[in-house]
Amino acid sequence: MPVYSISHVENVRVCVVMVGLPARGKSLIAQKIVRYLSWLSIKSKCFNVGSYRRKIAGVTGADADATFFSPNNEEGLKFRQEAVNQAIKDMMSWFLDENGVVGILDATNSTRDRRSKILKLCRENYIEPLFLESWCNDEDLIKQNILDVKTTSPDYINKDSEFALSDFMKRIKFYETNYQTLNQDIDSNLSFIKLVNVNTQIILNRIESYLESRIVYYVMNLHIKPRAIYLSRHGESLYNLTGKIGGDADLSERGWKYAKKLPELVLKSLGEENINTDLTVWTSTLNRTQQTASFLPYKNKLQWKALDELDAGECDGMTYEEIEKQFPEDFKARDDNKYEYRYRGGESYRDIVIRLEPIIMELERQENILIITHQAVLRCIYAYFMNVPQEESPWMSIPLHTLIKLEPRAYSTIVSRIKADIPAVSTYKEKGTSQLGEFDNITSKSRDLLKGSSDGK
Amino acid sequence: MPVYSISHVENVRVCVVMVGLPARGKSLIAQKIVRYLSWLSIKSKCFNVGSYRRKIAGVTGADADATFFSPNNEEGLKFRQEAVNQAIKDMMSWFLDENGVVGILDATNSTRDRRSKILKLCRENYIEPLFLESWCNDEDLIKQNILDVKTTSPDYINKDSEFALSDFMKRIKFYETNYQTLNQDIDSNLSFIKLVNVNTQIILNRIESYLESRIVYYVMNLHIKPRAIYLSRHGESLYNLTGKIGGDADLSERGWKYAKKLPELVLKSLGEENINTDLTVWTSTLNRTQQTASFLPYKNKLQWKALDELDAGECDGMTYEEIEKQFPEDFKARDDNKYEYRYRGGESYRDIVIRLEPIIMELERQENILIITHQAVLRCIYAYFMNVPQEESPWMSIPLHTLIKLEPRAYSTIVSRIKADIPAVSTYKEKGTSQLGEFDNITSKSRDLLKGSSDGK
């Protein structure tokens, strides 16, 4: 029997067909869905027709402007048609040959005719088509989106942003002439989600499968306000000092020092202009995270059981050396597949991801937040935001006494870290050894998660 | 710091204002929301205007028919207005004096005028109004609903169902004359959910708070197809024989007998006409539930970590007598508040409910299903379906070697049980003692969950 993960509930494949004029946030939504589902071990991929078009038609030269998208530009039309065809072909191969589960066709798909062709193709291949339209008539939102994203698009390399903005507005005009929005009556036989002005209004039609309803719920919870997420492990604990895992130990002397310094680190990281920002603080139910949070001046503090450290079951309270000695086969099995390995009577990384799912959903809704949790849990949260693959995430180094700041942007997340400059033992175990590093700040570059990470295109 | 539960995320109160013609399933939806939220410890209550009206105007006498609801019946109008006023007044007191979190006003609320009065009242009291309309033009669905529910309504005591049906149709006609459905443009400033023909189409407008989005997601997942949910504990385990809790023991000899007999019990319970029904089987990740499922002939078997037994932390593997001896204060604390008590390094009943929440959501979506799990987890699932209060649910007796069948109906759940007639030890511990009962079938009537249970009106 396979252990449950969301993807196994039904034997269903979904093709999410994005619909919408340019600059409606389609690619952003598509990429977030892929990241979320991949994190849940649901095989997902985005097929962006714009990238195909650039590959086929190129974008260099001074003549690359909106006229390419004119309905009267026959060559442009040909290239664009070819790009769509290629994207659809690749997507279908991916579904059929690579057992893809959720494929996203990221294009304007702006006419009913185009959509019904995709519909037909999906039905022939037993793939459920789910149309996802982002409709927006809020001019300010559209302009903001163009300035945020499109002016730095590969389509406008070496062009100034004023030209890019006005050219892009022209491009939109060309699409508007043929655009047919999803209609509750005409399209009532389709499964669709229509987002009106971001999430102000949402129309759901024939959302039937579990997977579709997960996608809907996720999309419903997305917001686009800028915000920061702060992550920290608890301060060094007495168990850390002796290399024991698990337990519910108190902080060490140095751990308390970190707890006392944490408010200052947070303020520094907020920056002067945001010094009065009210943070929500989440901890686990374990002493060491609550002690670490105890000097923070924020009122809104919550404990989550779901943020507790990975349960090591029978190995709780042991050192890695003891585990290697007492359960040599388990020790090796865990090194061989750390993501899937479940401690006897305890948990695997996969188990943590499942229990973290409601936390991630809630994090998508929240504004500024500070989470104080544990090494394995933090790895999983970090993996979600930074799109770290499963085989790597359990091996990332996340040192003690370091505050991590994540700033989600349209196509990437900016990471910065603030070290407390308070020494701590290393809790990082390299593959194939039971020895821990000497100090957490002496970590090999290769597994240092905090360098140049991005979930961008 | 309070341990997280969904209600604590925001300091928000929501008034769900039902909207819809009679026989659109409003009361059913309202009651399910109350049951779901209450199970999650969110204080919720439904205020049904029909019940107020019956209390005020009475329903006895041969003259109690649709004419009461005619817009020209001045006395009727007066009574109905009084009923609404009283219901709203009681709801507001409940919000303000009893710290209610989600109140549901279950009435037709069919005019924009009525709705804007409620809106105003909510805003004055800092309560978020969320309108929830059930709109339906599928005549068959409406008739079915009237026959299922309304013909047995207190309004039609001693009337035959043919009279009830036609009279009720007349009543609907009276409401139709004034009815104003929620409109995406006219009502675009309201927070609302509009369900069109059950869940075929759903329109969401300005769903902003977390609590609102939870309600939306729950309502989205409800379905109305008849189905059965089968629940069983694992067969007697080797730990059960020695009175130990927790662990991952194998089945005892009698436990294996139960496992072998289970397929026959299920078939018997399905009934001859449903003998080919394909059940989905869910187990925990522990040996004893998987062994219990091992003779079932169904292909679709899934393991859920979330169905694992309550984690007894440091007490795992101990008997109640040992726990009483070693941790006398904990033992007493658990007896005093079994729902909230969290084992050292382990879980409380409340923790189980939080991790079961996705299971319940998925159960609402599923059709026929068989769940093989553990005593504490089964108590929590049972408590959800049967609306058992928190202070009682951890004390319910759920004997070994017994298959429980739940059939959710509009306003109640039918429970039946099939005993395997294979003896097993008792795992039931009465409050205030560390002794277990002798046999599970000798349980005191007062805590026997399986008698006359219902979550009905």
Mean pLDDT over A44-64 rounds to 80
Residue that the structure tokens 């040959």 belong to: A97
Residue B167 in 3-state DSSP? helix
**pTM of the shown model:** 0.87
- Smallest Cβ–Cβ distance between B248 and the set A290, A345, A351 belongs to A345
Q: What pLDDT does residue B125 have?
A: 93
Q: What is the pLDDT of residues B141-174, one digit of tens each?
A: 898 888 887 777 788 877 888 888 888 889 899 8
- Smallest Cβ–Cβ distance between A8 and the set B283, B302, B357 belongs to B302
Each residue of B83-122: b (16+ CB within 10 Å) or e? Answer: bbebbbeebbeebeeeebbbbbbbbbbbebebbeebbebb
Q: What is the pLDDT of residues B349-372, one digit of tens each?
A: 999 998 999 899 989 988 899 999
Report percent pLDDT > 90 for chain B. Answer: 65
Contact A305 B3 (CB under 8 A): yes
Q: Is the pLDDT of residue A235 over 90?
A: yes
Mutate to test the interface with A, among B3, B4, B285 (most CBs of A within 10 A): B4
Whether the CB-CB separation of A401 and A420 falls below 8 Å is answered with yes
Contact A216 B216 (CB under 8 A): no
Which residue in B106, B133, B308, B440 is the catalytic one? B106
Contact B4 A347 (CB under 8 A): no
Tokens of B419: 């005993």
Among A390, A187, A279, A117, which Cα is nearest to B200's? A187
Q: State which residue of chain B sits closest to A216, comparing Cα positions.
A: B217
pLDDT higher at A225 or A113? A113
In this structure, the dihedral spanned by the alpha carbons of residues B236, B241, B247 and B251, taken in order and rounded to 10 degrees, is -40
How many alpha carbons fall within 13 Å on the CB side of residue A120?
Answer: 6
Helices then strands, counting H and E runs in chain B, come out as 14, 12
Distance separating alpha carbons of residues B24 and B100, to the nearest angstrom: 26
Residue A370 DSSP one-character state: E
Is A106 known to be catalytic?
Answer: yes
Which residue in A234, A324, A330, A351 is the catalytic one? A234
Among B177, B156, B149, which Cα is nearest to B65's? B156
ipTM above 0.85, yes or no: no
- Percentage helix, strand, coil for chain A under 3-state DSSP, each rounded to 5: 45, 15, 40
Q: Taking CB atoms and an 8 Å cutoff, what residues of chain B touch A4?
A: 282, 302-306
Distance separating alpha carbons of residues A174 and A78, to the nearest angstrom: 15
Residues in a beta bridge with A102? A14, A44
Among B403, B206, B203, which Cα is nearest to B293's? B403
Task: Provide the shortest C-alpha distance from residue A316 to chain B (in Å).
Answer: 10
Distance separating alpha carbons of residues B287 and B406, to the nearest angstrom: 25
Which residue in B65, B128, B308, B309 is the catalytic one? B309
Residue that the structure tokens 């991916």 belong to: A94
Report percent pLDDT > 70 for chain B. Answer: 92
Among B129, B104, B141, which Cα is nearest to B23's? B141
Q: What pLDDT does residue B441 have?
A: 44
Whether the CB-CB separation of B172 and B22 falls below 8 Å is answered with yes
How many inter-chain contacts (A to B, CB under 8 Å) are there?
A: 119
Among A73-77, A171-175, B7-11, whose mean pLDDT is lowest?
B7-11
Is A234 known to be catalytic?
Answer: yes
Domains and CATH numbers, chain A: 12-219 (3.40.50.300), 229-451 (3.40.50.1240)
- Cα A358 off chain centre by: 14
